[in-house]
Amino acid sequence: MNNTRKLARAHEALGIKAASMAANLPTFEHIVPEADESFVWRVDDYPWERNVWNFHPEVEIHLICNASGMAFVGDYIGEFQPGYLTVVGRNLPHDWVTATRPGEIIKGRDIVLQFDADRILGIAETLPELGQLEEFFLRAERGLIFSGQTLVEARRLVEEMGTVSGFSRFALFIRLLALLSSTEEYEILSSPEFAPKLDAETLDTLQRALIYIFEHLASEIHLADVAALSGMSESAFSRFFKKNTGNSFTDHVNKLRIWQACKLLTESDMPITEICFEVGYLNISNFNRTFLRHHRMTPSAYRRLAIHRRPVRTSPESASDAHESIDLAHSAR
């Protein structure tokens, strides 16, 4: 069975679309604005062909409108909720994954802006105010998320762009950049150490390892088995995996298992003991200890808190409230 088919099976077992997740090779996305536009603004349904683990030289501002799921930005893995606003810098691999049923389409899940930062900075010789964006673009190379009143206002501006065109849309775009570049209400996502090697041989080896992890996520996963699959010693594979995913082997497995546990805690009434075994832990003590380390609360406390924050908010005024529910799992880093 080829890698693509194996990956599809693995994703299906987790309730995740086959085209996504960081187990895919990052795909280069070619972005071309319209001739009369300096940036791309578009609304995406989910899933579609561009919803993949991808990278591109343009900066991307990405708003999740009406779904939850798992964000992958560089070596960052964390949950998102409606109202989640991310800025992804140049050539930083990224994907936002929502579990969907076969054939399900989530209309208008994403609003995406993409633009050439070098083109904007190149105009700074004529319009020196734009030079103030250089530091912001550097920060964005590790990925940023926003909160508080900044998130409320940024979401309003992003959505308002869909109601206008031409210079009016461009004016809103400049206001958005001014807001995001000057606020302190942001968090950096990917670590400065994340520097994957993107040659074909490395990516193929990494893909085979990640496929194996997904296929065996609900059972025991031994470093020795994955290292042997990759043709390396355990120590060599550990260094290889850390360099190219930004996470240790154990941390990567635990983050994915805890994410799946959070989904079950939030979306089902399954007893916590059953969830523990369902996501691949062999004893409840280890599960509780790992969960507490990632979320600073017990699984039962997480479930109680999630129940109170479960309603989906979609209005701009509630974006800051929606960000509070993101914080349930945002410490899982």
CATH, residue 110:
2.60.120.10
Domain match, 143 and 209 both: no
Q: Are residues 224 and 274 in the same domain?
A: yes
Q: Are residues 181 and 267 in the same domain?
A: no
Confidence at residue 97, expressed as pLDDT on a 0 to 100 scale: 83
Q: Which helix (H) or strand (E) holds 159?
A: helix 148-160
Domain C-terminal end among 188, 211, 227: 188
pLDDT band at 11 (very low <50, low <70, confident <90, very high): very low
Does an H or E element contain 43, and which? strand 40-46
Q: Are residues 308 and 259 in the same domain?
A: yes
- Average pLDDT rounded to a whole number, residues 181-201: 84
- Say whether both 237 and 257 belong to one domain: yes
The tokens for 179 are: 């807001």
Q: Are 131 and 181 in contact (CB under 8 A)?
A: no
- Give yes or no: residues 222 and 182 share one domain: no
**Helix/strand number for the chain, H first, E second:** 13, 11
Highest mean pLDDT, choosing among 52-56, 100-104, 199-203, 220-224 = 220-224
Same domain for 217 and 173, yes or no, is no
On whether both 79 and 209 belong to a single domain, the answer is no
Q: Which of 131, 157, 188 corresponds to the end of one domain?
A: 188
Q: How far is CA 331 from CA 40, 236, 264, 297, in A?
A: 32, 29, 18, 10
Please state, in angstroms and rounded to a whole number, the distance separating the CA atoms of residues 60 and 69.
19
Instruction: For the chain, state the CA radius of gyration.
Output: 20
Whole-number pLDDT of residue 281: 93
* Local confidence band at 259 (pLDDT 50, 70, 90 cut-offs): confident
Is the pLDDT confidence value at 251 over 80? yes
Q: How far apart are CA 138 and CA 136, in angstroms?
A: 5
Pair (219, 76) in one structural domain = no
Number of residues written out for the chain? 333
Two tokens, residue 282: 């062999």
Name the one residue in this structure whose structure tokens are 């309003």. 156
* Residue 2, both tokens: 């080829």
- Asked if residues 91 and 55 have their Cβ atoms less than 8 Å apart, the reply is yes
The residue-averaged pLDDT of 48-63 equals: 83
The C-alpha angle 197, 145, 290, rounded to 5 degrees, equals 75
CA 35 to chain centre: 30
Last residue of a domain, one of 119, 153, 188: 188
Domain count, the chain: 2
Of residues 70 and 87, more confidence is placed in: 87
Angle, in degrees to the nearest 10, between helices 234-245 and 249-267: 60
177 and 323 in one domain? no
Pair 94, 184 in one domain: yes
SS3 string of 213-262? HHHCCCCCCCHHHHHHHCCCCHHHHHHHHHHHHCCCHHHHHHHHHHHHHH
Residue 26: per-residue pLDDT: 53
pLDDT tens digit sequence for 305-315: 877 654 433 33
What CATH number corresponds to the domain at position 303? 1.10.10.60
Q: What is the chain's percent helix, strand, coil content, to nearest 5?
A: 50, 15, 35
Task: Name the residue range of residue 320's domain.
Answer: 200-330
